[in-house]
Structure 1
Amino acid sequence: MTNQQLLDELLAIERAGWQALCESTGDRFYGDLMTDDALMVLANGSVMDRSAVTSALGQAPPWKSFELSDERVISAGADAAALVYIGTAHRDGADEPFVGAMSSMYHRVDGTWRLVLYQQTAKAD
């Protein structure tokens, strides 16, 4: 698989996740995508396991829209890769969008990419 193919494949998963967050189905999407021991490290400093993520997303207001930019992929072997990008997301009622540097570490299990670690850092103005 070429670097571009890997980037395209992981970006499709990442965009599907953001779309699920816009449709208020992120709890189910990430419950299926994350490995049992996966973690999310959020911009507010919290570290959440899979159970906490699905619980929080089940109660979270939806995002209105999102954009991904400056996408990059780093291969970590035949069955692992990290996707890094800038995410910009808008919510109804919010004056400013959330803009952050995001990284998602994926591991391919039985031919399917699974999320093992997600990290976000709020981007300074």
Structure 2
Amino acid sequence: MGTHTETEVQTELLALERRGWDALCDATGGDFYGEVMADDGLMVLADGTVMDRAAVVAALGASPPWLRYELGDVRLVRAGADAAALVYTGRAWRHEQEPPFTGAMSSLYVRDGDRWRLALYTQTPAR
């Protein structure tokens, strides 16, 4: 990240985060996260479930797609020269007539050569 500005890094990571959410909406999330997650990456879900990359790929392959999502209050947190986290409020709907899942979310990305890999994703449900 050395020569990249905060704005450039946030723009790049937010675009990657949106690609992930788009994949969750078009039922290709397993493929997307299988590629983007770091080999030792983890997801910590709102219910306390901790999943490694293989478990994420399997779970997303069996999950219904999301209908739509919104990301707001996006912040970038640098974590050294080759890592940064996006922290944001996410809202996602499975069905239009049902209330959305809403939570604080964070995605920690690490630079791996010329691309970003997702090392840790967490969800904290809104109360």
Query: TM-score when scaled to structure 2?
Result: 0.95
How do residues 81-96 of structure 1 correspond to structure 2 at under 5 angstroms?
A: 81-92=84-95, 95-96=98-99
In the alignment, the residues of structure 2 paired with residue 15 and residue 61 of structure 1 have an alpha-carbon distance, to the nearest angstrom, of 18
How do residues 1-125 of structure 1 correspond to structure 2 at under 5 angstroms?
A: 1-92=4-95, 95-124=98-127
8 Å contact from structure 2 (residues 67, 96) kept in 1: no
In the alignment, the residues of structure 2 paired with residue 47 and residue 16 of structure 1 have an alpha-carbon distance, to the nearest angstrom, of 22
In the alignment, the residues of structure 2 paired with residue 3 and residue 123 of structure 1 have an alpha-carbon distance, to the nearest angstrom, of 27
Letter in 1 for 2:99: E
Letter in 1 for 2:35: D
In 2 relative to 1, CA 44–94 (structure 1 residues): closer, same or farther, beyond 3 Å? farther
Letter in 1 for 2:91: T
- 3-state secondary structure, aligned to 1:12: helix
Shift >4 Å, 4+ stretches: none
Query: TM-score when scaled to structure 1?
Result: 0.96
RMSD: 1.0
In the alignment, the residues of structure 2 paired with residue 68 and residue 111 of structure 1 have an alpha-carbon distance, to the nearest angstrom, of 25
**Structure 1 regions of 5+ residues with no counterpart?**
none
**Structure 2 regions of 5+ residues with no counterpart?**
none
Letter in 1 for 2:106: S
In the alignment, the residues of structure 2 paired with residue 33 and residue 42 of structure 1 have an alpha-carbon distance, to the nearest angstrom, of 17
Identity of paired residues, percent?
57
How many pairs are equivalent?
124
